Amino acid sequence: MPSFDVVSKVDLQEVDNAINQVMREIGQRYDFRGSKSQVTLDKEGIRLVADDEYKAKAVLDMMREKCVKRNVDTKALDVGTIEPAGGGLVKCLVRLKEGIPTETAKEMVKQIKDLGLKVQAQIQDEQLRVSGKKRDDLQTVMATVRGGNYDVPLQFTNFRE
């Protein structure tokens, strides 16, 4: 029976490459000369430190731009608040969203069932498995889920005949 998985994953290597590009751009831009702005990646997410709120927003814009160029969906970036850090600096934590939350998965299952096709959708951990007898039905489900407005980036993996 044909099936596929709907998952939400972030390629950490591409995120790291985007961070390196942002740091290179910070070093080259005229408005960041002498700035203490920096971006790092750790277990919690992306840590951003800047001189002031204006520069922090500029670095966030650069980060989004570089992520888009490296095919990292910006829905995966959960930007926290910009708050003061010591020494006249500001900081911000950008968390990376991975996995499909249960509420979102339930919405997807409801949307798939509303199609009226002969497919089954099962929530497995933080992913969704869809199976059915006809490949065309599965492709219709893919198009429907892709067109849905969810707050997480979605990928389709593990397509089996």
Q: Please tell me the distance from the alpha carbon of residue 128 to that of residue 60, in angstroms, as a whole number.
A: 31
CB 138 within 8 Å of CB 130:
yes
AA letter at 44: E
Residue 7 backbone phi and psi in degrees, to 5: -130, 165
Mean pLDDT, residues 132-159 taken together: 88
* All residues at 6 or more sequence positions from 141 whose CB lies less than 8 Å from its CB, including other chains: 112, 115, 117, 119, 121, 130, 132
In the block, tokens 């991975």 appear at 98
CB 11 within 8 Å of CB 52:
no
**Cα-to-chain-centroid distance, residue 132:** 28
Tokens of 73: 């969906």
- Tens of pLDDT, residue by residue over 71-122, are 998 889 999 999 998 888 999 999 999 889 888 899 899 999 988 889 898 9
Q: Please tell me the distance from the alpha carbon of residue 106 to that of residue 6, in angstroms, as a whole number.
A: 13
Which pLDDT does position 50 carry in this prediction?
92
Q: Please tell me the distance from the alpha carbon of residue 31 to that of residue 52, in angstroms, as a whole number.
A: 12
Which pLDDT does position 160 carry in this prediction?
82
Task: Classify each residue of 23-37 as buried b or exposed e, where b means 16 or more C-beta atoms within 10 Å of its C-beta.
Answer: bebbeeeeebeebeb
DSSP-based three-state secondary structure for 50: strand
DSSP-based three-state secondary structure for 153: coil
Q: Which domains does the chain have, with CATH numbers?
A: 3-8+100-160 (3.30.70.860), 12-96 (3.30.70.990)
CB 17 within 8 Å of CB 161:
no
- Tens of pLDDT, residue by residue over 10-65, are 999 999 999 999 999 999 989 888 888 899 999 989 999 999 889 999 999 999 99
